[in-house]
Amino acid sequence: MKFTDGFWLAKPGMQHVNCREVQDARWEDGCYTVYCSHVPVTERGMILNAPLITLGFRSPRAGILSVTVDHFQGVAATGPKFELFEEPVSLSVSEAEDAITLGTGTLTAVINRSPFRLSFFENGVRLTGLGDRHMGLVRTDDGDFIRVKLDVGVGEKIYGLGERFTPFVKNGQVVEIWNEDGGTASELAYKNIPFYVTNMGYGVFVNSTGKVSYELCSEAVQSAQFSLPGESLTFMVIGGGSMKKVIENYTALTGRAARLPAWSYGLWLTTSFTTRYDEQTILSFVDGMAERRIPLHVFHFDCFWMQGYEWCNFAWDRAMFPDPEGLLRKLKQRGLRVCLWINPYIAQKSPLFREARDAGYLLRRPNGDVWQWDMWQAGMGLMDFTNPDACRWFQGKLKNLLDMGVDCFKTDFGERIPTDCRYADGSDPVGMHNYYTFLYNRCVFDLLRRERGEGEAIVFARSATVGSQRIPLHWGGDSTSTFSSMAESLRAGLSLGLCGFSYWSHDISGFEDMASPEVYMRWAQFGLLSSHSRLHGSSSYRVPWLFGDRASDVVRQFVNLKCRLMPYLYAAAQEASRTGLPMMRAMALEFPGDRACEELDRQYMLGDQLLVAPVFRADGTVEYYLPQGRWTHLLSGVVIQGGAWQKERYDFDSLPLFVREGAILAMGAQDSQTDYDYLDGLEVRLYQPGPVASVSSVADAQGRPALTLTAQKAEGRVHLTVAGEHASIRVTVLDGDTVATARLEKGQASLTL
């Protein structure tokens, strides 16, 4: 929200009450509290009939400074609040005549008393800060707002704020943290996260579930401004020194992704949305994939597994599926897992509506009526997940499906949440608009974790908020079947990854319309080099043979490749869950300091060793950038010296897919499954090894650490050391034009080539 009219003036009808001078500072209730007047006080009478802004400083974890800006503190706190994992640290305090210095670890805040200024430093280097006209209260005709304007330095770039389809670097943008169902081609977003990180090695998190508004070098070109309606705002400056460490610190506070089962990394195929399908259709798809030797791992039933007008009744449409138990058995016999579509809404025609209404499980209007509308399903109500009994009831309906043989759920929707309603626990409906999705998905995920066990639970969710990264995974929403939409999906996924979301997927070939064969095949390459891979659409099927024989070959090739890459990918996944870093990493995250990487949003690192540059043109032409070092094309073996842009043309059996210098890439022997014994027939490839030791790991199919591999080149020879029990391992060294192979036998711990 904009509050000023240029540099000097306030907008009409707006009064600014800024922190101008410190009047007092002291410890109160475990918080270092600073009282600021809105004008310099030159005589005692000036304190009358005047506001005071209160600042509360604390450290919820080492390396994080929290600042609460209050006007009135008597406003009732009705919730909700983000679940944070705090380990409070005592602030160090140094009080001088002109300034106060607060510290937590290497992060410090310096408060100048008069004129008021606030600056944040890490290891003595200034990160950001604000002056005496940049923080406080704004009174408007629409109510009060708290506003903060933090400095943005020369060359500083801002990233994050959720899964955003607008340009990757957020400088110059206006961002509203408000979940909405707007597709992938607008400023609206399904997953809004009030956290950003900059290339200067710090992040800022606004600790509010409400509608935080950002002006990022837009209203004031030198500032990142954020504001919130009401009388209080808490923001946290998160240090770390690098974007990676900032994300680790942020996710230590807000939570990290649960481990996902190995089978989930395989290929998912769906019925699509409005297509007509029955048992014969579904089995023809599954058998058609098998006939074409395309590995398939999960089959998903979209909305119409239930009867129309009754979403959700959690009951199979018996006209289309007279024997759902038998169908599930047939899918299981073919080695498939099964996913079902659900949403948190109960249509009035559903027999469950009356049951939920009478039990008080649906959101109500302030007058006590059930909140209903016809948007999506006729007369639908919304589940109230603040009611524990409603959660148990909802889980009970889903458990019946799990008992039938279903493995997981696609938890769609959760964005169109009203604010003129009443929650069972008294939560503020405005604050619940974004937070609703967390309660919805947690309800489903908790059931899956209880019924299927840790490491086996997975949802396929669309909406998200802070903390939703703990409940994986999420997909990118309703894209269109074009190269432009493919590109906007990728930059949104990279943006989400910089907010601590380790896993992300998207609809291969796009959701709306029908892709051309060229879009389908290029999107299949991209999708199968993402953390999770799903063929899905709206009004048309997405089986590859509908797009030509070549499309079936491309899908097969890249499913085979992903299966072989599983020892590497699953180890990267364990690191992601452990650190909060994404599997699909923006180039700026992996190559800090490389200015060419700062705005790259059409390529990414898959884990820390593989570079992927999807092709976004029908003629196969692609421009991509390789950072410094020697890069080896995974499929062709061609070595390219980095530090420059490349422009090439690729056929449909390839794309820019490079392994970085010094990489230790673990490849499995299986090309049709994702959950297998990765150590059986393991191949370890050493790419351009150097004098600096490289370290990599391999997890087993249950996510447990299995092997640690260390490689180093010294005096013209390559040395590989393996820690952990293993069978025979084939070792391949690719060093320039030289390729050498050897075998590390069982019980052998090192090898020299």
Q: What are phi and psi of 460, to 5 degrees?
A: -120, 90
| Confidence check: pLDDT of 681 > 90 | yes
Confidence at residue 77, expressed as pLDDT on a 0 to 100 scale:
87
| β strands within 165-206, DSSP E | 173-176, 192-198, 203-206
- Cα(582)–Cα(577) distance, integer angstroms: 9
Sequence-separated (6 or more) residues with CB below 8 Å from residue 448: 402, 408, 409, 456, 457, 458, 459
DSSP string, 383-450: B-TTSHHHHHHHHHHHHHHHHHT--EEEE-------SS-B-TT---HHHHHHHHHHHHHHHHHHHHHH
**Which residue among 415, 488, 512, 700 is the active-site one?**
415
Asked whether the beta carbons of 709 and 750 are under 8 A apart, the reply is: no
Q: Mean pLDDT for the chain?
A: 97
Please pick, among 132, 428, 478, 598, the residue that the annotation labels catalytic: 478
pTM summary value = 0.97
- Predicted pLDDT at 396: 98
Per the annotation, the verdict on 737 as an active-site residue is no
Q: Which of left, alpha, beta for 219 (phi over 0: left; psi -120 to 50: alpha)?
A: alpha
- Say how many C-beta atoms besides its own lie within 10 A of residue 98's C-beta: 9
**Tokens coding 157:** 């770039």
Q: Is 415 a catalytic residue?
A: yes
Q: What is the pLDDT of residues 499-544, one digit of tens each?
A: 999 999 999 999 999 999 999 999 999 999 999 999 999 999 999 9
What is residue 40's predicted lDDT score, i.e. its pLDDT?
95
Q: How confident is the model at residue 737 (pLDDT cuts 50, 70, 90)?
A: confident
Cα–Cα separations (whole angstroms), residue 13 to 249, 598, 606: 40, 40, 50
The DSSP secondary structure of 226-261, one letter per residue, reads EEEESSEEEEEEE--SSHHHHHHHHHHHH--PPPPP
- CA-closest candidate to residue 55, choices 76, 73, 80: 73
Convert the pLDDT of each residue in 83-129 to its tens digit: 999 999 999 999 999 999 999 999 999 999 999 999 999 999 999 99
d(CA 547, CA 165): 27
Best CA proximity match to 496, nearest among 177, 211, 160, 157: 160
Domains of the chain: 4-152+192-254 (2.60.40.1760), 664-752 (2.60.40.1180)
Q: What is the pLDDT of residues 215-274, one digit of tens each?
A: 999 999 999 999 999 999 999 999 999 999 999 999 999 999 999 999 999 999 999 999
Q: What is the pLDDT of residue 738?
A: 86
- Position 700 scores a pLDDT of 86
Which of 318, 313, 395, 304 has its CA nearest to residue 352? Answer: 313
Question: Is pLDDT at 21 greater than 90 in this prediction?
Answer: yes
Residue 434, pLDDT above cutoff 90: yes
Based on the residue annotation, tell me whether 412 is a catalytic residue of this protein. yes
Q: How far apart are CA 504 and CA 160, in angstroms?
A: 14
The residues, ordered by sequence, that sit 6+ positions from 402 with a Cβ below 8 Å of its Cβ are 447, 448, 451, 452
CA distances from 606 to 528, 565, 609, 662 (A): 11, 11, 7, 16
Q: Which amino acid is at 421?
A: C
CB 435 within 8 A of CB 465: yes
The reported pLDDT for the residue numbered 705 is 86
**Strands, E assignment, 668-716:** 683-687, 694-699, 705-714
Q: What does the pLDDT average to over 468-487? A: 98
The secondary structure of the chain in percent helix, strand, coil, rounded to multiples of 5, reads 20, 30, 45
The pLDDT score that the predictor gives to residue 703 is 86
Res. 702 pLDDT band, cuts 50 70 90: confident
Q: What would the two tokens of residue 674 be?
A: 């994702």
